[in-house]
Amino acid sequence: MGPRPLVTVVGGGLAGVEAAWAAATRGAQALLYEMRPGQRTPAHQTGDLAELVCSNSLKSARLTNAAGLLKAEMARLGSVLLPIARECAVPAGEALAVDPPLFASTVTDRVHQHPEITVIRQEVTEVPEETPVVLATGPLTSDSLANSLAETTGTGLLRFFDAVAPTVTLESIDQSQAFRASRRNRSMEDAAPAAVQVEDYINCPMSREEYDAFLAALLEAEQARPHLPEEASTPFFEACIPVEELARRGPRTLAYGPLRPVGLTDPRTGRRPHAVVQLRQQDRAGTLWGLVGFQTRLRWPDQKRVFRMIPGLQQAEFVRYGVMHRNTYLCSPEALLPTCELRARPGIFVAGQLTGVEGYVESAAIGILAGLNAVRLASGRTPVIPPPETVLGSLCRYLTETDPKVFAPMNANYAILPELSPRVADKRARAQAHADRSLAALGAWMKEERLDGSDS
Ligand SMILES: Cc1cc2nc3c(=O)[nH]c(=O)nc-3n(C[C@H](O)[C@H](O)[C@H](O)COP(=O)(O)OP(=O)(O)OC[C@H]3O[C@@H](n4cnc5c(N)ncnc54)[C@H](O)[C@@H]3O)c2cc1C
């Protein structure tokens, strides 16, 4: 047996710990760089690895929930964080929630005890030359490394602020109240057959009364508390003003702005509506739709309540709420391969929130994949891509196949998974069918790629 290949992991958060563990348990020697406690971030409080910066919830533990299914996939791939989370769990109904300091200190001890992981407390200021490397420095990546990464990937591929509108599933939109049309095109119904083309937007028309009621609710809705103190004073880009802020500028501002009905005729009435909320496709499969111009800082329960007043969205299922916060992440459709490798620099893997996934569990899951691919590359094997039927595989596909123009960070949800065939109407049965299909595909893939412990 030759010497163990070396894998360098930068960032000892959720993704970095999983990546180092995945590499070390698959035959590599892992060097894990973490800049805390010597160098702090605006959110972390301690020097512990895998510190949870805000909520203590790792979301649902149920297999019939997309985040729960992702956890089941991670467990099969040898996650180190999930067993520790269960050791440090606090009562939280169907969710897996932890005691954060206990969780982080237990993770830190466990990592330090691993004979093949060396933790180095040092900021990495440039993308390392030696590969393989896993970059897992998270939403608060230090400035110098962020600059170096931006140089490596090419102009404009690293983003520093997340201002996204809510995303809903196509199947939860009541199409009988909406119509498809683009402002610049004629509506489907008007077009001559030869000119018929796929219309880009789903339009939710509003009467004057509906608009007034919506505006009143929007003005009364409550703002979320900023995650970081600096976010409260961050000036808005004029093109990216929160929808509630626009509403405060005057009763007609929205109707002349993102909700303007110009160029849109409701085919059911033959008239131009008083106002129109437009939804734009977010993924290639057309299952996810984002509310155009609805970037917002409202609390999530208020978003659900107020945005469900929009005709056609009364039953909308929100896979992602609007947020506006500091977040360093790559435009992965342009920057990444589905193996988590940088297109511009093979051998440099990226993991965690830096890839454009959102959330503790999603970040950790991508960490496992990046770690195991790094060790495969180091030992002369080809990096792998999880099957699309799995939540992990679907996240990779979302990251790398979404139209870069509409790419926004994403968390685990069923809408990014391929449709079941045949379709299952009942929601609970459908979730179970997704779980069965995912775990079967994962098992077969792990066997084929020898990822079941025999890959080291
Ligand atoms: C303020 C805030 C609140 C959030 N609240 C939630 C929440 O409630 N729930 C949720 O699911 N998600 C939340 N998130 C998102 C959350 O950060 C991610 O879900 C998760 O922590 C990402 O994991 P990660 O490993 O990618 O990054 P992190 O967990 O942030 O880990 C990155 C690590 O890299 C280190 N690092 C950075 N730069 C360098 C460098 N140059 N050299 C060496 N080390 C470096 C950092 O110190 C950090 O330890 C929040 C994010 C922020 C910023």
CATH number, position 365 = 3.50.50.60
Q: Tell whether the model's pLDDT for residue 317 goes beyond 50.
A: yes
Asked if residue 186 has pLDDT above 60, the reply is: no
Query: Are 82 and 141 in a shared domain?
Result: yes
**Percent of the chain topping pLDDT 70:** 93
Condensed to tens digits (0 to 9), the pLDDT of residues 93-144 reads: 889 999 999 999 999 999 999 999 999 999 999 999 999 999 999 999 999 9
Structure tokens at 53: 């910066």
Q: Are residues 94 and 108 in the same domain?
A: yes
The helix (H) or strand (E) run that includes residue 76 is helix 66-76
For the cut 80, the answer to whether the pLDDT of residue 452 exceeds it is: no
- Tokens representing 80 are 């180190």
pLDDT score of 427 more than 50: yes
pLDDT of 188 > 70? The answer is no
**At which of 290, 321, 352 does a domain end?**
321
Total number of domains in the chain: 2
Query: Within this chain, do residues 351 and 311 fall inside the same structural domain, yes or no?
Result: no
For atom 38 of ligand 1, the residue with the nearest CA is 141
**Per-residue pLDDT band at 237 (split at 50, 70, 90):** low
Q: Which of 261, 268, 267, 257 has its CA nearest to residue 206?
A: 261
Q: Are residues 200 and 63 in the same domain?
A: no
* pLDDT for residue 86: 97
Ligand 1 atom closest to 42 (CA): 1
Largest CA distance in the chain: 76
**CATH number of the domain residue 209 falls in:** 2.40.30
Indicate whether 177 and 304 sit together in one domain: yes
Residue with tokens 């900021």: 123
Residues 190 and 105 in one domain: no
| Per-residue pLDDT at 3 exceeds 90 | no
**Rounded distance between C-alpha atoms, residue 215 and residue 1, angstroms:** 69
- The pLDDT score that the predictor gives to residue 227 is 76
Instruction: List all residues whose CB is within 6 A of at least one atom of ligand 1.
Output: 10-16, 33-36, 41, 43-44, 53-55, 123-124, 136-142, 145, 227-228, 352-354, 359-360, 363
The CA 57 to ligand 1 mean position distance, Å, reads 14
* 352 and 210, same domain (yes or no): no
The residue ranges of DSSP E strands in 311-424, in sequence order, are 318-320, 323-330, 348-350
The residue out of 274, 295, 321 marking a domain boundary is 321
Q: Are residues 330 and 273 in the same domain?
A: no
Q: Could you tell me if 277 and 206 are in contact, meaning their C-beta atoms sit under 8 angstroms apart? A: yes
Q: Do 203 and 117 lie in a common domain?
A: no
Residue 393 lies in a domain: yes
Residues 233, 86 within the same domain: no
Q: Which atom of ligand 1 is nearest to the CA of 366?
A: 26
* Per-residue confidence band for 223, with pLDDT thresholds at 50, 70 and 90: confident
Round to whole Å and give the CA distance between 408 and 239. 16
Range of the domain at 423: 6-163+326-448
Angle between helices 14-24 and 360-378 (to 10 degrees): 30
Q: What are phi and psi of 118, to 5 degrees?
A: -115, 125
Which segment, 71-75, 184-188, 406-410, is predicted with the most confidence on average?
71-75
Question: Do residues 278 and 265 make contact, with C-beta atoms less than 8 angstroms apart?
Answer: no
Q: What is the pLDDT of residue 164?
A: 83
pLDDT digits (tens, 9 = 90+) for 159-183: 888 888 999 999 999 999 999 998 7
The mean pLDDT value of the chain amounts to 92
* Amino acid 130: pLDDT: 92
Residue 143 has a CB neighbour count (10 Å cut-off) of 11
- pTM for this one? 0.88
- Res 197 pLDDT > 60: no
